[in-house]
Amino acid sequence: KNEVEQSPQNLTAQEGEFITINCSYSVGISALHWLQQHPGGGIVSLFMLSSGKKKHGRLIATINIQEKHSSLHITASHPRDSAVYICAVMRGTSYGKLTFGQGTILTVHP
């Protein structure tokens, strides 16, 4: 079993829908990253969280350290949100080394 598990692995939505991607991890962490990779594109860091909630535009990321769980929400989804979303954790003693989930492939149809 991977130390970082994401669900769902694939997600299809209609434009305008509210989307949630979940990430569960089994190790102690110092921070959690949500990353985005568009088809043919590079990996971009969306959020780095160690507690609570962060918001950027239509994207919201939350983390519950006690439950070892994080969610990425996209409000009013748009076809340009279609991408792979990756959860990655930084262990407390890892000096920045990331452990990745397998990614969630999101497709938003117009």
Q: Which residues bind another protein (CB under 8 A)?
A: 2, 4, 30-31, 33, 35, 41-45, 48, 50, 86, 88, 90, 94-103
What number of other Cβ atoms are within 10 A of residue 14's Cβ?
Answer: 10
Q: CB 35 → another protein: shortest distance, Å?
A: 8
CB–CB of 4/25 below 8 Å?
yes
Q: CB 26 → another protein: shortest distance, Å?
A: 14
What number of other Cβ atoms are within 10 A of residue 48's Cβ?
Answer: 14
Q: CB 84 → another protein: shortest distance, Å?
A: 10
